[in-house]
Structure 1
Amino acid sequence: MSLGADVTAELPKPRAAEPSGGTDWSAPEPAGRRSPRFRDTLYVRPVTTRPTTVSALTRRLIGVREDVLAWVPEERPRYTRLGLIVLNTGMIAAISLFTALTRVLDVPWMVIIPIVVFWAVVVITIDSWMIASTHGLLGSGRWLMFLPRLAMAILLGAVIAEPLVLWIFHPAIETNIDQHRRESIKHEAGLWTKCNPTDGSSTTGLAECRNHQLGNSGPAAVQATLVGLEEQRAKLNNDYTEAVRQRDEKQSFAAKECAGVKLDGTSGQEGWGPRCRQAWRVAAEYERQINLPGMKENIDAIDLRIKDLTDTLGTDRRTYQQVIEKGIADQVAAYEATFGRVDIIEQAKGLDRLSKDSHFVWAAQWLVRGLLIMVDSLPVLAKILGGSTSYDKLVNRQLRTGQSFHGLSLDYAERSVQASTQVGIDEIDDRSRRNREQHDEDLDSEIDRRAQRYAAEAF
């Protein structure tokens, strides 16, 4: 037999690791056989590690079984770093929630810490489940298992990333919010001023003033009276001017008639004749009918009332202006008080306004958001990019073997129960048979005994 054949024949079978972690090379060899010892080439597994080390705890976090991983210790750094990635994701989630809650809640930061820790534990639990549930997946079907987990990781990453994006752009957002508030207050003050003029004019017909009216009447009644008097004076003045014109025309016609001026309607004869006297009577009668002094008195009376109302209106306007200015100031102050503390919603709106005003900000905030989402999704991405590892193959084999052993165990249990049941049935049948035989023997004995007694009595 050649040396190569001897080596193949004498190689020991794999066995569990001894407490010392090595092979007992001092064990006696079988008699009559000499096998070469390969102390430097024989590869004995598994390689165990203490379960309380930091690296082992991080691997336990993502569901790694150390007894299986001991067969491929080269995979330990990979899964240790994968567990650290899950821890880092939880820390990022804690920082994100802490940033968000400090913007929303006006409470001491010590109150927020338990909530933040709980959220970190929830995120770590979800990420660790997503990783642990993929151990042992092989073949093309593993992608169908990864897709929903990746979608969940991206969604979770988007939730975690948003507060951090707002925190990164915090200075620019604060400046934009302050400027937007000032512009909003200025616009609100302009609406109240426009919809409540100090002269008391009505603005109820303006759609933008529907919710911006103080409801004060002001000097509107006096103003309306004054406008009516001015219209009336203008009409009386026009009537007075027309009456004076017609009176002057009639008097001029009478004078020309008496002077003998030849015109349409005159006689052309000079002197105080009938037609001259008639013309002056017509002029005098007309002047008496129109009552020019009475008309002038009415105009003067209206002028006096207009003057009094104008003075009154000036005083009312000054008082009304003060009331309106104070009312507008109160409304603007109330509107300004509605802003309060800057919360996360207002910060999101501020970032949206910055993005609309600047393409650079829009691109930068989406790049940052995408990076944070990718970092938050890194546990699943790392598992996907790592492919099927040796540990996955061992776990898959372990799962298939476990399933096979479970089936065999069930078969064994079923057959054991069946066999035990059959033995019990046989024992019952045998006991029943013996009982029947014993009963028959007892019956025969009793018959013989009675027969003998009857026979003795007969003789």
Structure 2
Amino acid sequence: MVAEITVEIPKQRTAARPADPRLDTIYQRPDKPERIGLARLARRLIGVREDVLSWVPEERPRYTRLGLIVVNTGLMAAISLATALTRVVSVPWPLLIPVALFWGALVITIDSWMVSSSHGMLGPGRWFMFVPRLLMAVLLGAVIAEPLVLWIFHPAIHTNVEQHRQALAGAERGLWTRCNPSDGADTTAVAECRKHQLGIESPAAMQIRLTSLRDQRGVLKKEYDSLTAQRDQKQALAQAECAGRKVGDKTSGDAGWGKRCTKAWQVAGEFEKQAGLPGKGRQIAALDSDVKRLTTELAAARQGYNATLETAINTRVSAYESSFTGVDLIDEANGLDRLSGESSFVWSAEWLVRILLILIDSLPVLAKMLGGTTSYDRRVNRQLRTGESFHEMRLDYAEHAEKAGTAAATDQVDSRSRQNREQHDEDLDAEIDRRAQRYASEMT
């Protein structure tokens, strides 16, 4: 706080000053400020002393605009926080206004402190005192600028986020489809499929049974064909015997239904009976019927399984998509990062906007630094030094006065103590004389 110093200005006109009353108005010092108004409130916000500024009224526009810069920075901070909160919490926007205003007031307080604490700084050390203030301003500007950057690129970011979410949902559907194939193949051994098993019973068991029936029919049909060929050979030999055809030494060549003819047919009949050809034929026919029926059932099961599988996959993908709620601040930041990685133009524009916003947010301290040492700063510095000097003088005076008072009190106490000792000695001498007189009177 700058110490107030009252200086009496003699109200007299010097002989060198012109008599023109307009010049009196121009050169009158101190110049009275506005009683009330936005300009004075803006200067008061950054800690400007009007009684000091009245000696250099030419500096008023500079500090008025500096105060308005601080106000604008606070408003930008409030808008930035409101923009960020709308993407973080799901509440009606009017409820966010008090929080945004509080943040704006906090930023105004910090900026006004950084500016007001630099008033009166002179010399080379002035720049070193600005360094931490500038770093704080840049950090605060970066925090304020980020939501505004996302807001500026809002349309492109939201389009990118929607496309990215669609790509994620498509990849999720593809994973569920690969891990649960329509043929019912087991994919539990695949690493990426361990957490993507639907657990739906597949037609694989029916397919295994159908394959087994087909294999069984194939083996039986091969055996049946081989036995049938042997039976046909025996029947052909019997027909040749009965017809009298000579087949090497296997037939007699005598036609007629004789003993050899009957024997040949008996051999063929016994072979067919022993081989069980009729039963095997019935088994093959039954297997053919079972294969046909099971093939039809498998086709129907596969069709139903595919529909069930598709429904289950759609349910899982819908549940995955439902996790994409609103587009929050993190989603927008990731979207902007993807856009920057895809386009150098977006990357350049993003950083240009971010740097511009940071510079605007740091403008209170930058304006104070770039403004250099003003006449107001020199007067504040002088008043600070004068105030310190006067305060030291007052403290010295108080110290000397206190020491003098203490010394006087000590002398007074010493004087009283000395008088008390003298009085005590006199009383003691008087008592001795009195006792001596009494003793002398008693002895006589």
Q: 1:302 corresponds to which residue?
A: 287
* Alignment partner of 1:156 is 2:135: no
Q: Any idea what the Cα deviations from partners look like across 1:260-304, whole Å, max 9, x if unmatched?
A: 6xxxxxxxx89869xxxxxxxx99999888665555444433322
Structure 1 residue 425: Cα displacement: 1.0
Q: 1:45 corresponds to which residue?
A: 29
Structure 1 residue 137: Cα displacement: 2.2
TM-score, normalised with respect to structure 1: 0.79
* Alignment partner of 1:16 is 2:3: no
Residues 1:64 and 1:249: Cα distance change in structure 2 (over 3 Å): farther
Give the distance between the partners of 1:53 and 1:90, measured in 2 at CA: 19
Q: How does 1:400-415 map to 2 (within 5 A)?
A: 400-415=385-400
Matching residue's letter, 1:402: G
Given that 1:99 and 1:163 are in contact with CA atoms closer than 8 Å, whether structure 2 keeps it comes out as yes
Matching residue's letter, 1:420: G
* Alignment partner of 1:119 is 2:103: yes
Structure 1 residue 69: Cα displacement: 2.3
Q: 2:207 corresponds to which residue?
A: 223
Structure 1 residue 416: Cα displacement: 2.2
The structure 2 residue matched to 1:346, chosen from 331, 350, 361, is 331
Give the distance between the partners of 1:438 and 1:348, measured in 2 at CA: 95
* Alignment partner of 1:66 is 2:50: yes
Q: How does 1:311-330 map to 2 (within 5 A)?
A: 311-330=296-315
Q: Say which structure, 1 or 2, has more relative contact order (CA 8 Å, 6+ apart).
A: 2
Give the distance between the partners of 1:432 and 1:227, measured in 2 at CA: 131
Give the distance between the partners of 1:178 and 1:109, measured in 2 at CA: 24
Q: Any idea what the Cα deviations from partners look like across 1:9-49, whole Å, max 9, x if unmatched?
A: xxxxx98366xxxx6337xxxxxxxx734246896633332
The structure 1 residue matched to 2:124, chosen from 140, 151, 158, is 140
Structure 1 residue 249: Cα displacement: 10
The structure 2 residue matched to 1:25, chosen from 3, 8, 12, is 12
Residues 1:377 and 1:458: Cα distance change in structure 2 (over 3 Å): same
* Alignment partner of 1:371 is 2:344: no
Q: Any idea what the Cα deviations from partners look like across 1:229-273, whole Å, max 9, x if unmatched?
A: 2233344445556677899999999x9xx866xxxxxxxx89869
Structure 1 residue 169: Cα displacement: 1.4
Residues 1:60 and 1:238: Cα distance change in structure 2 (over 3 Å): farther
Residues 1:236 and 1:406: Cα distance change in structure 2 (over 3 Å): farther
Matching residue's letter, 2:15: P
Matching residue's letter, 2:151: W
The structure 2 residue matched to 1:357, chosen from 329, 333, 342, is 342
* Alignment partner of 1:171 is 2:142: no
Give the distance between the partners of 1:165 and 1:147, measured in 2 at CA: 26
Bigger shift: residues 59-68 or 108-117: 59-68
Give the distance between the partners of 1:120 and 1:305, measured in 2 at CA: 82
Q: 1:391 corresponds to which residue?
A: 376
Give the distance between the partners of 2:172 and 2:155, measured in 1 at CA: 26
Given that 1:58 and 1:80 are in contact with CA atoms closer than 8 Å, whether structure 2 keeps it comes out as yes
* Aligned-pair Cα RMSD in Å: 3.8
Residues 1:141 and 1:239: Cα distance change in structure 2 (over 3 Å): farther
Given that 1:17 and 1:46 are in contact with CA atoms closer than 8 Å, whether structure 2 keeps it comes out as no
Structure 1 residue 225: Cα displacement: 1.3
Give 5+ residue unaligned stretches, structure 2: 241-245, 254-266
Q: Any idea what the Cα deviations from partners look like across 1:149-171, whole Å, max 9, x if unmatched?
A: 22221121111111111111122
Q: 1:433 corresponds to which residue?
A: 418
Give the distance between the partners of 2:207 and 2:59, measured in 1 at CA: 93
Q: 1:206 corresponds to which residue?
A: 190
Identity of counterpart residues, as a percentage?
A: 58
Give the distance between the partners of 1:181 and 1:426, measured in 2 at CA: 93
Q: 2:84 corresponds to which residue?
A: 100
Given that 1:154 and 1:376 are in contact with CA atoms closer than 8 Å, whether structure 2 keeps it comes out as yes
**For 1:103, what is the secondary structure of its paired residue?**
coil
**For 1:104, what is the secondary structure of its paired residue?**
coil
Structure 1 residue 421: Cα displacement: 1.3
Structure 1 residue 395: Cα displacement: 2.5
Give the distance between the partners of 2:285 and 2:430, measured in 1 at CA: 163
Q: 1:56 corresponds to which residue?
A: 40
Matching residue's letter, 1:373: I
